[in-house]
Structure formats: structure tokens, C-alpha cells
Structure 1
Amino acid sequence: MIQKIRYVWHVIAKLFSFALFGSFSLLVAVFGFPIMHVFAGFSEKRFKTIARKLNHLFFIIYIKIISFIGCIRVSVENKEALANLRSKVVIANHPSILDVVILFSLVPNADCIVKGDLVKNKFVSLIIRNLYIPNNIPFDDQLELAKKSMEEGNNLIIFPEGTRSKPNEPWEFKKGAARFALYSKNDIVPVFFGGNEKIGIRKHDKILQYHPTERYQYNLKVLDPISVKEFEDVPMTKSAIVLTKKMKDILEAELPNK
């Protein structure tokens, strides 16, 4: 009986977390952005700097709230490596819908490649159009925008799988993350997401599902940077393949059964 009560509470906590995120995102976009534009003197560059800092603060607070209500636990090994990160490509495996939120709470000055379909989402469309790079524009444009963003000191968050992992299936890494790093000549910082199974927030899970016995546990490990210097004189086509395999091998080595 107690276990059933805990399960119901966890589902309610998850639904509340989703509602909180959507509501706050809408409020920021509708009311916060105009105020930020005024404080930035209508300078697009200053506006983005202010907005990224406030977004980072929001994600920190958001993670603290959903941790407090018993939805998740987060531990980070080598967390200090992310504190002053600048102009890096941050990659990670992607087991759940909360991964990007957690990374945004840890990585300052974060930019991101996001699904173009999210531009149609009324809760986050204004935020995405103002701050991040949608993946439904030409890839060459994505490369240029990402390079420019990292030249300004921002860090590009990207999941090489392109979408959440399918439970109990091998990871499939696309070459996009490698191409962003190679094109911009910025090193890669891999972050491994471990912990318990993310039932209810994985790909294709139902909204009322949750881990049957406990809250979501996120054990993150910030790994050593991957230098792109060795690929300077290698054609992009070949170097992207080799670098993608290297990223996948490094992250897969952290899996418990390896």
C-alpha cells in the first residue's frame, strides 16, 4: 500500500514538474523577454547574454524544486570541470527528457541544437527562436550559427543520438556533433548520464508511467575533453566518422555492463 502511495505521489510530482516548466517558459517568453530587451538596450548580443544567464539560473532553481518534491536526485562527478566552461561542444548520451534541463543547469552560457518541431510549441517557441538553433534549417546554417555562438564564449550542447535512446537498444550516434566540433575547431566535453532506469520519461513512454520503486536517480560523470586538434589535416568526411566513433566508445565505456 505504501509503495502504491509513493508511486502515485511520484507521478503527481512528475506532472507538476512538466506543468511548472511549461508555465514558467511561457511567462519568461511573454513577459520576461521584452523586459530583457529593454535592459539590453535592444542590443541582440546583450539580450542573448542576459537571457542565457537567467535561463541558467532558472534551470538551477527548477532542478532544486523537482529534487525537493521527490521527483529526481542528481549527483555529478567532476562537476567543477563545467563551472567555467567556454567555447566547447558538450555531448552526452540521452536516456530521458530531463537530460537537457539538467545540462542547462550545469553548463553556463549554453547554446543548443533543438528539434525544429519545438518552434511550434507555444510554451517554448519564443525561447527557442530567440536563443537556440533549430535543426530544421539548412545544416550549413546550423554550422555557422553554432560556430558564431561558440566564438562568443557559449557552449554548444548536443546529443549525438539526435533523440532519446530507445530502452534496451544499442546507441546510434550521428555525425552531426562531430561536424560541429570540427567545423568550429572546438574541443568536446563528454558527459555520461547514468543512474536508474528512467521509466516514464524515456522515448515512447506513457505520461502516467514512473519508476516502480524509487525516484529518478541521475548519476552524471564529466569525462576528459576530446581534442579535435589531431583531425586538423584530415578531410571532414573521414574525421567526422572517426571522431563520432571515438565519442561513442568513450561514453559506452561508462556503461555498467562494460
Structure 2
Amino acid sequence: MIRTIFSAVYIFILVLRTAPRLLPMQKLAETIPPEEKDRLVHKTPDWFGKRMVRVTGSKVEVKGLEHIPQDRAVLVVANHQSNFDIPVLMGYLTKPIGFISKVEMKKIPIAAHWMELMNSVFMDRSDRRQSLQAIKDGIETLKAGHSLVVFPEGTRSKSGEMGEFKTGSFHLATKSGVPILPVTIEGTHNILEGNGNRIRPSRVTLTISEPIYEEEYRDMDLKELARYTQNIIQSKLS
């Protein structure tokens, strides 16, 4: 319990520490090329993600960094075990990324503004029309050269098990033509959700598989592509 309280307070302080960087970065982002803006913005989420994980006492092992295309946007497709998946990806993926995020995140002060700077797209899953618009916005974001992360399970598993991947997320790749980067997250649920929402140290593994390029998925339908990607991610779980 003491670790949980300390971690929560520390994370709150981390968020506050990013606030002075926010306005200058917003102004700078309007005057520099998109690639340079993404690189500079990424420094803060990278810093925040690593420290958020470290305060829990957890260790992250990363495999397959060489598989990340650095010269183009990708759609990162990952399984979703925990709320800690996001800081792990921000801190250890070594590539500027935004997220397809639930719309409730827009209500969180400071964090919401950073997510906008990261080119994140907010989706209201309870509103079909807005969800479709969010997918369209995500496609345009990818076409503009900004990488995005999507969790096709739609919600956290809160365990080591994986839910079925929903096909709608894969429109983001098929309509934009970007590579799909399968990423397997293992161990994050043991930080929080697997302990009755009490923080404990965990050993986390982030495994990055080879990209699936358009030439490979072009002739697949969405169900085939979702199943194919899920099998790759599932195969890296212990």
C-alpha cells in the first residue's frame, strides 16, 4: 500500500513537472517541420514513461528494436494488459508515437494537451458516428507521417490472456498503406491490475516483431489481417 501511495503521488508530480514545457512546445510546434516537431515532443513522453515505470520498481526488457522502421510512419498494434502499457510504449519504443485513445482522456488536465501534441486521436466507442470519424482522422494522421498505437482488443485484459482483436482498427493500416508493427507486451498487468490495484514491481517484456508491409497484407480481408497480426503477437507471449 505504501508503494502504491508513493507511486501515485510521484506520478502526479511527474505530470505537473511536464506543465512548464507544454506551452513553449505548443508554440514551437507551429513553426517547425512535422518530423522535427514529433522528435522534440517525444522527448517528454519518453522521459515521463520511463520514470513512471521505474517508480513502481519494475524492469523492462525490450526485444526487436531493430524491427522498427525509422524513416516512415507505422501503425503499432499491441495487446493491452494494463494502464501501464502506455507509459511502457512511450518510454521504450524509441519512436515518436500517438495513441488511438478513449475520449475520456480529453478530460485529464495537462495529459490531454500532451496527447494532442503527440498526434493522438480520441475515440468515443459509445458513438458509432464519432468512432468512424476517429478512424478517418487516424488514417489522415498516418498518411501525414505520424505513427499511431492501437489496442485492437478494445479494453485491457488485466491479465496475461488476450482478447480477440477487433477488425475495425485495421482500417487504419489498409486505408493509409503504412506498415503494421506488431508489439507484444507482457508483465504490465502484474504491476497493478493483477494485485488488486496495488502497485508491485514486475518484470515487463516488450517484444517488437517484424513489420507487416502493405505488400504482405494487401490481399487479406480485415478478419484475416486481424487474426494474422494477433497470432504474431500471441506467439511472443510466454
**TM-score of Structure 1 vs Structure 2, range by shorter chain:** 0.7 to 0.9
User: How large is the Cα RMSD of the aligned pairs?
Assistant: 2.9
Q: Structure 1 residue 198: deviation in Å?
A: 1.4
Per-residue deviation, residues 190-247 of structure 1 (Å, max 9, x unmatched): 1111247515246xx654x133xxx12111111111233344356xxxx111111111
One-letter amino acid of the structure 1 residue matched with residue 121 of structure 2: I
Is 1:241 matched up with 2:223?
A: yes
Distance 1:101 1:248, change over 3 A: same
For the 8 Å contact 1:185–1:229, the answer to whether it is kept is: no
Counterpart of 2:4 in structure 1 is 11
Per-residue deviation, residues 27-51 of structure 1 (Å, max 9, x unmatched): 1xxx4343234334x45xx486565
For the 8 Å contact 1:85–1:155, the answer to whether it is kept is: no
Counterpart of 1:36 in structure 2 is 25
For the 8 Å contact 2:7–2:55, the answer to whether it is kept is: no
The DSSP-based 3-state class of the residue aligned with 2:175 is: helix
Counterpart of 1:210 in structure 2 is 199
User: Could you say which structure has the larger radius of gyration?
Assistant: 1
Is 1:104 matched up with 2:90?
A: yes
One-letter amino acid of the structure 1 residue matched with residue 122 of structure 2: P
Q: Structure 1 residue 119: deviation in Å?
A: 1.0
Counterpart of 2:63 in structure 1 is 77
The DSSP-based 3-state class of the residue aligned with 1:119 is: helix
Counterpart of 1:250 in structure 2 is 232
Distance 1:206 1:23, change over 3 A: farther
% identity of equivalent residues:
22
Is 1:138 matched up with 2:130?
A: yes
Instruction: Extract unaligned runs of 5+ from structure 1.
Output: 1-6
Q: Structure 1 residue 141: deviation in Å?
A: 2.6
Is 1:219 matched up with 2:215?
A: no
Q: C-alpha distance in 2, partners of 1:138/1:67? A: 32
Q: C-alpha distance in 1, partners of 2:204/2:148? A: 21
Q: 2:166 aligns with which of 157, 163, 174?
A: 174
Counterpart of 1:60 in structure 2 is 46
Aligned length: 232
